[in-house]
Homo-oligomer: A and B are copies of this chain.
Amino acid sequence: MSKSSTVTVREKPVQDVASATAGGLIIHGETFVVQTDQRVEVIDLTNRVMEFARRFNIREGLISLWSMHTTCALFINEFQSALIDDLKGLIERLVPERGGYRHDDPRFSDCERGNAHAHLRAALLGRNIAVGLVNGELSLGRFQSVIFAELDGPRKREITVQILGA
């Protein structure tokens, strides 16, 4: 392998919104844009996902969210200030910002951001979540929030969101 990354190239430009129907089933995708202000920032997307779901008259189905980036994460947990601090502390302890990473070393990598820690933290936290729609409600418990974590900001980030159901 070279110093460079393999790049995934789309054949067509991304469209903002795309839908299909099949025998009463609706599949609809679009992009959430998130502008982050901090280097590490944790954002609650639950209301945005709920509003998205309500626009469709879907009772049973699936909502998927995919981060389009390799240095941020999507996951479900409790959104509480102190717990978010603990989560930041955990990932800093497991994956320190300066860890002598080869991805941050110009001898081995053409990446100039010094963000190996952000890639590795994203690998532990995950970049994709799915939430069910059951009887018209999201499969989220009372203390569950849909959480986006910026790990190498500030940046403009894109999340693909898709609803599939009937």
Interface residues of A (CB under 8 A from B): 1-12, 14-15, 18-25, 27-30, 44, 46, 59-62, 64, 66-70, 75-87, 89-90, 94-95, 99, 101-103, 105, 108-109, 111, 116, 119-120, 122-132, 134-145, 158, 160, 162, 164-166
Tell me how many chains of this kind the complex includes.
3
Contact call B77/A22, Cβ cutoff below 8 A = no
Beyond A27-B165, A134-B18, whether A143 also contacts B1 by CB under 8 A is no
Between-chain CB contacts (< 8 Å), 9 pairs? A6-B79, A14-B137, A18-B59, A23-B25, A60-B164, A66-B131, A78-B119, A81-B109, A132-B160
Contacting A1 at CB < 8 Å: which of B7, B84, B120? B84
CB distance from A124 to the nearest CB of B (A): 6
Beyond A29-B135, A90-B95, A143-B5, whether A83 also contacts B103 by CB under 8 A is yes
CB distance from A28 to the nearest CB of B (A): 7
Q: Which residues of B contact A122 (CB under 8 A)?
A: 77
